[in-house]
Amino acid sequence: MMWLLPILVIFIAGVVQGLTGFGFALVSAPLLSVLMEPRMAMPIVLVQGSLITLLLLPDVWRWIDVKMVIPLAVSGLIGIPVGVYLLRIVEGDTLRIAVGILVILFSLLLLSGVEGLGGSRGWMTIPVGFLSGLLGGSTTM
């Protein structure tokens, strides 16, 4: 019975990913981190999210902007080991607070309507890729 709520979270996150093409980790990681230690939750999110993404990839391949994805992916790959290292040395509660603050800050940034942050020429592509890798390595978000 103690696994019923995490299974429900994974199901809902899978539905969100299936409908929107993204969001599995964004929905599941914070909720699972509340229900269990991040060190236990993050591998679950990583495996499930990767499987769903691989299943959706053939359907969305034609819409991928390669000029944007390459810098994001390379800088993200550099950030992953840093995030994994943080996961090993930082307490679970500290990670929860840090992720919450980052989600709020980036939500406010997006709501502010700042121009030029995204796209293949956006100046934030590489830092966002690195931060994405760092969060992916430490929280799988």
Task: Write the pLDDT tens digit of every residue in 89-107.
Answer: 888 788 878 878 887 887 7
pLDDT score for 121? 60
Q: How far apart are CA 86 and CA 70, in angstroms?
A: 25
pLDDT score for 136? 80
| Residue that is written with structure tokens 């993404």 in the block | 53
Q: Provide CB contacts within 8 A for 63, sequence distance 6+.
A: none
Domain boundaries, the chain: 1-64, 65-141
pLDDT in tens, 4-25: 999 999 999 989 888 887 788 8
What single string gives the DSSP state of each residue in 60-86? Answer: HGGG--HHHHHHHHHHHHHHHHHHHHH
pLDDT score for 127? 87
pLDDT score for 1? 56
DSSP letter at 110 equals H
Rounded to whole angstroms, what are the CA distances from 81 to 15, 58, 61, 92, 107? 29, 28, 27, 18, 25
pTM value is 0.61
Percent above pLDDT 90 for the chain: 12
On average, the pLDDT of the chain sits at 83
Residue 59 and residue 111 in contact, taking contact as beta carbons nearer than 8 Å: no
Q: How far apart are CA 47 and CA 129, in angstroms?
A: 20
Does position 119 have pLDDT exceeding 60, yes or no? no
- 42: its two tokens: 């993050």
pLDDT in tens, 38-65: 778 878 888 888 888 888 888 888 888 8
pLDDT score for 11? 93
Report how far Cα 11 is from the mean position of its chain's Cα atoms. 17
Rounded to whole angstroms, what are the CA distances from 5 to 11, 102, 133, 141? 10, 25, 27, 19
